[in-house]
Chains A and B, each alone.
Chain A
Amino acid sequence: MAGSPDTLTQAEPVNNTAATAAAIEQSLMQQELKPASGPAPLTGSHASAAATTGVIVIDGVSKVFTHPDGSLVTAIDNVSLTVKAGEFVSLIGPSGCGKSTLLRLIAGLETATSGTLELDQTTINGPDADRGLVFQNPYLFPWLNIQNNVAFGLRARRVYRWQKESVARYLELVGLGKFGRAYPHHLSGGMAQRASLARALINQPRVLLLDEPLGALDAFTRMNMQDEILRIREDKAITMVMVTHDVDEAIYLSDRVVVMTPHPGRVETILTVPFARPRARNNPGFFQLRSQILEILNFAGHITEPPYQI
Chain B
Amino acid sequence: MTTLTEATVKNDLSPNSDLQVGSAARSVATSVTKTAAKGPQAKEHSSGCGGASGSAQIVQSLWGALVRKLFIDHLALWSAFLALGADVFFTSSGRHPPVDRPYFRYFLYVTIAIFIIWPLIVKNKPASLEKFRQKDKFYAAAFLFLNVLNLVTGKFTLLPPLFFPTPDRILSILVEDFTYLIFDCLAGSAKLLLTGFSCGALAGLITGIAIGFSKPSAYWLNPMIKILGPIPPTAWIPIVLVAFPTTWTGAVFLIALSVWFPTSVMTSSGILNVQNAYFEVSSTLGAKRLYQIFLVGIPAAMPLIFTGLFSGACSSFLTLMTAEMVGVKNGIGWYINWQREMLAYANVYAGLIIIALSFYSLITLFFKIRDRVLVWQKGMIKW
Interface residues of A (CB under 8 A from B): 36-37, 107-109, 126-129, 131-133, 135, 137, 139, 141-145, 152-153, 155-157, 183-185, 199-200, 203, 209
Contact = CB atoms under 8 A, between A and B. Distances in A.
**Top 8 nearest A-B pairs by Cβ distance?**
A129-B286, A156-B287, A153-B285, A127-B283, A133-B284, A143-B299, A157-B286, A143-B376
B302 interface: yes
A305 to B, nearest CB: 46
Contacts of B278: 139, 141
A187 to B, nearest CB: 12
B63 interface: no
A33 to B, nearest CB: 15
Nearest to A202: B285
Given A135-B277, A141-B282, A156-B295, 9 more contacts: A107-B284, A129-B284, A141-B278, A143-B302, A152-B295, A153-B285, A156-B285, A156-B288, A200-B285
Contacts of B299: 141, 143-144
Nearest to B276: A109
A156 B281 contact: no
Interface residues of B, number: 25
A109 B285 contact: no
B296 interface: yes
Contact of A156 (B277, B291, B302, B379): B291
Interface of B: 275, 277-278, 280-288, 291, 295-296, 299-300, 302, 374-380
Contacts of B283: 108-109, 126-127
B280 A133 contact: yes
Main secondary structure of the interface of B (DSSP, over half): helix
Contacts of B287: 152-153, 156
Nearest to A128: B286
A131 B285 CA distance: 8
Contacts of A126: 283
A152 B377 CA distance: 19
Contact of A135 (B281, B282, B285, B376): B281
A142 B376 contact: yes
Contacts of B378: 183, 185
Contacts of A200: 284-285
B300 A143 contact: yes
Nearest to B280: A109
A132 B275 CA distance: 19
Contacts of A153: 285-287
Contacts of A143: 299-300, 302, 374, 376-377
B340 to A, nearest CB: 47
A128 B295 CA distance: 17
17 contacts: A109-B284, A126-B283, A127-B283, A132-B285, A133-B280, A135-B277, A139-B275, A139-B281, A141-B300, A142-B300, A142-B377, A152-B295, A153-B285, A156-B282, A156-B291, A157-B286, A200-B284
Nearest to A135: B277
A58 to B, nearest CB: 18
Nearest to A196: B281
Given A137-B277, A141-B299, A143-B300, A183 B286 contact: no
Nearest to B288: A156
A256 B282 CA distance: 29
Nearest to A127: B283
